[in-house]
Amino acid sequence: MKLNRNHHKNNQTIAFPWSIWSSIFLNKRIWIYRLRSFLAVFSAFFLTSIPLCYGSDKHPETLKQLIEMYDPTGCRECHEDIYDQWQNSHHARSITGIFMERYLKKGHLSVKDPRNATKKNFPCFKCHLPQLEKATDAVAAEIAEVILNNDKATMKKLNISCMVCHQDKAVVHGFPESNVMYGPKAEKEYPEKEHMRVKKSPFMTQAAMCGQCHGLGPIFEFEYPIQCATLYGSYLHAYIPSGGTQTCQECHMKKADHTCPPNFNDRKDVSERLRQALPLEVDTLSYRFQPFEKIFVSTIVVKTKITSKAGHRIPDG
């Protein structure tokens, strides 16, 4: 039976057993409001039940607290080789080479007094220091002062450390578990009580793991949107459709190499990698051109061809 809504509205004598429930659940605004209220209560209860640790809802209020939360030196005791590799990577110096001092002195992100800086002044840190998202604006102000004072010793402590990849970024559905580190291999129990449990995260072997930072393009979530890395986008839109099968890790982390080459400070290594990734073919044809009698012009035609064997656009980031 088709219900005449107008008739139902005007004739108050018509009543259905489900009229009260239908007025509640069929009203989209009420439903959305009730759903949001439930999620808010559930989230508040759930998040406050999680012990505070690397991947939790802890919000450092000082720069010292933030540095201590993500300090990787404890990992070195058991993983010295990997730690040394990481120290030579760009992940270990993620904020020392991105010209943040210029941004803070001039332009939309500039601040007259570092004490007035907030997290909005650091859109680049979405990838270059993602743990700042957990901190308060007071920590952002401290970082602004560190950068403007060129405090390199402190800047070296702000980086993409072990916990960023093996905790925060290792889980994409839900939250990382407390006192758990994630890796690409199966779970392994360590005898030391102070060592966190290690769980397998299949996501860490996928290109999307790296794509969280080496991204898809424009970032519109900030007050002043920025255009940054599009490397993962070119990987998806060009390399994969052309038949490519390798992941980022298979090229840049062979044998679990945590230097994640190339190292752009090593020009010899970079040149060799570019030679392999972008082979150059050159063909030449030389002849003498005679535009007029007794006038000869030496001429050469150079034909070049560059074939990209890389899994993404070059240059990119």
d(CA 201, CA 197): 13
The DSSP line for the chain is ----HHHHHH-TT---TTHHHHHHHS-HHHHHHHHHHHHHHHHHHHHHTSPPSTTSS----SHHHHHHHT--GGGGGT-HHHHHHHHTSGGGGTTSSS-HHHHHHSSTT--SSGGG--GGG-TTHHHHSGGGGGS-HHHHHHHHHHHHTT-HHHHTTSS--HHIIIIITT-SSS-PPTTEEEESSPPB--S-TTSPEEEE-GGGGSHHHHHTTS-SS-B-SSSS-B----HHHHIIIIITTTT----HHHHHSGGG-TT-S--TT-HHHHHHHHHHHS-EEEEEEEEEEEEETTEEEEEEEEEEEE---SSS-SS--
* Predicted local distance difference test score (pLDDT) of residue 146: 93
Peptide bond into 176 cis (omega under 30): no
* Predicted local distance difference test score (pLDDT) of residue 79: 93
* Predicted local distance difference test score (pLDDT) of residue 275: 93
* Predicted local distance difference test score (pLDDT) of residue 218: 80
Cβ atoms of 181 and 197 within 8 Å: the answer is yes
Q: The whole model's pTM is what?
A: 0.74
Within 13 Å and on the Cβ side, how many CA atoms surround 153?
0
d(CA 60, CA 65): 5
* Predicted local distance difference test score (pLDDT) of residue 110: 86
From the list 67, 235, 36, 256, the residue with the least C-alpha distance to 164 is 67
Grouped pLDDT means (10 residues each) for the chain, 317 residues: 41 41 43 42 34 57 96 92 95 83 82 91 90 95 93 94 95 86 78 74 95 85 82 93 95 94 90 93 94 92 94 86
Q: The tokens of 260 are what?
A: 């994640």
